[in-house]
């Protein structure tokens, strides 16, 4: 014969869920900050050498392949496409058509992949920020219901009997809010950084296309 689930068990479960939310939030925050910081440094190192080149033909593809950073990966994708286009001419269907438009499309696809990498985990922060208060409120409601049941069973309505259990139940709401606040703040901060990164990468794509124009004109 199965017994009913204890309200205390459900309340404890909500607290463990909030704990898991909190651990996930701070793990993502530290990881994403490291990811953006590392990507920014890598891009700065790449650009310090890239903009000193006279043309794209001076790029060492093997060195570029081993270089980290979103802009380096965009440049590698573009140089690889240019080499394939030069070797295959129009034999392959993916190289048939206007070369400039095809290269631009290739770079845009790679740009979207880079943005997707940056956005990974950010939606989880948004979900935690929006649901954590409700999970805490759920625990509080169950706690108050359990407290009221115990009060009615004991038959005592003194302040000590009433305030203690209800006060304990309200802790779940407080924890839920405490978990949600850093998640929301981190989400807004990272969303802003992603927008800045997107703008920088789009500008780099435009600059790369300008630098690739003479090579494409020679191949036509």
Report domain extents, the chain.
7-219
Nearest to 161 by CA among 174, 149, 173: 149
Query: What does each of the 220 residues of the chain score in pLDDT, given as a tens digit?
Result: 344 566 677 778 888 999 999 999 999 999 999 999 999 998 888 888 777 777 776 676 766 767 788 998 998 888 888 888 777 655 666 666 778 888 899 899 999 999 999 999 999 999 999 999 999 998 888 878 877 776 677 666 665 656 666 777 788 889 999 999 999 999 999 999 999 999 999 999 998 888 888 777 766 5
Other CB atoms closer than 10 Å to residue 44's CB: what's the count? 11
């Amino acid at each position: 014969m199965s017994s009913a689930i204890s309200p205390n068990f459900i309340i404890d479960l909500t607290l463990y869920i909030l704990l898991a939310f909190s651990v996930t939030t701070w793990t993502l925050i530290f990881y994403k900050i490291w990811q953006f910081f590392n990507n920014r440094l890598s891009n700065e190192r790449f650009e310090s050498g890239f903009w000193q080149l006279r043309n794209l033909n001076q790029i060492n593809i093997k060195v570029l392949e081993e270089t980290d950073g979103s802009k380096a990966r965009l440049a590698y994708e573009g140089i690889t496409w240019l080499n394939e286009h030069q070797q295959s001419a129009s034999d392959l269907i993916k190289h048939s058509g206007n070369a400039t438009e095809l290269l631009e499309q290739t770079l845009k696809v790679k740009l979207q992949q880079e943005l997707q990498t940056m956005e990974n985990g950010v939606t989880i922060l948004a979900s935690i920020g929006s649901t954590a208060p409700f999970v805490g409120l759920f625990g509080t409601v169950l706690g108050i219901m359990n407290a009221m049941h115990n009060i009615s069973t004991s038959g005592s309505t003194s302040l000590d009997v009433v305030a203690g259990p209800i006060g304990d139940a309200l802790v779940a709401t407080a924890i839920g809010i405490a978990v949600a606040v850093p998640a929301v703040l981190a989400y807004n901060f990272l969303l802003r950084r992603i927008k800045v990164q997107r703008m920088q990468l789009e500008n780099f794509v435009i600059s790369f296309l300008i630098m690739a124009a003479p090579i494409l004109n020679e191949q036509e």
